[in-house]
Amino acid sequence: MEKERIILGIDPGTQIMGYGVLRVVNNKPELMAMGVLQLSKYDDHYLKLRRIFERIISLIDEFLPDELAIEAPFFGKNVQSMLKLGRAQGVAMAAALSRDIPIFEYAPLKIKMSITGNGRAAKEQVAYMLQNFLKIPNENMLPQMDATDGLAAAVCHYFQTNNPTQDKKITSWKDYIHKNPGKVKK
């Protein structure tokens, strides 16, 4: 029996919101969709928040995700920008909560680290690694890195929840040998 789950990844923003949808079948991830919501054309901040909510709801209705992975706001110098970004994240979370979808937050450094091995990686490096990992053709890559940032949140969540050693908490070498008899020769 095939085991399937769908993860919606969100990179919240007040100018551009990125998203990626990842399908995991029998523990193998594949890209379903990625894109952006352009919000810079709206002057009213509350209208932007409404559009974010509506778009997340439409993505949920279209793809029926099992989980939402979202990038947590990072600490910046501009308090107003942080407040607006936090509102955008909150609205996206409210949309998921309204459909009873569990939410998982990841710091930007955690997402970049899980994708590239470097928490300070450039957006281009993240996009390149995702393209290779998911075998995304060049013509399907978007010029806006916010789309791959949203997808990166979903892939990060996949990595965090599919660690095969996660079930096996190893406390000592003796414990490792006991839990992995086929990997150790006596």
Catalytic residue among 4, 71, 139, 149: 71
Check residue 99 and report its DSSP letter: T
Q: Is 71 a residue of the active site? A: yes
**What is the chain's length?**
186
Count the helices and strands in the chain (H runs, E runs): 6, 5
Catalytic residue among 146, 149, 167, 175: 146
Residue 166 region by backbone torsions, left for phi larger than 0, else alpha for psi between -120 and 50, else beta: alpha
- The amino acid at residue 24 is V
Asked if 152 and 111 count as a contact pair (C-beta separation under 8 A), the reply is: yes
Whether residue 11 lies in the annotated active site: yes
Enter the tokens of residue 145: 């890195």
| Start-end of H helices in the chain | 45-63, 79-98, 108-116, 123-134, 145-161, 173-179
Of 11, 30, 61, 124, catalytic: 11
Q: Catalytic residue positions?
A: 11, 71, 146
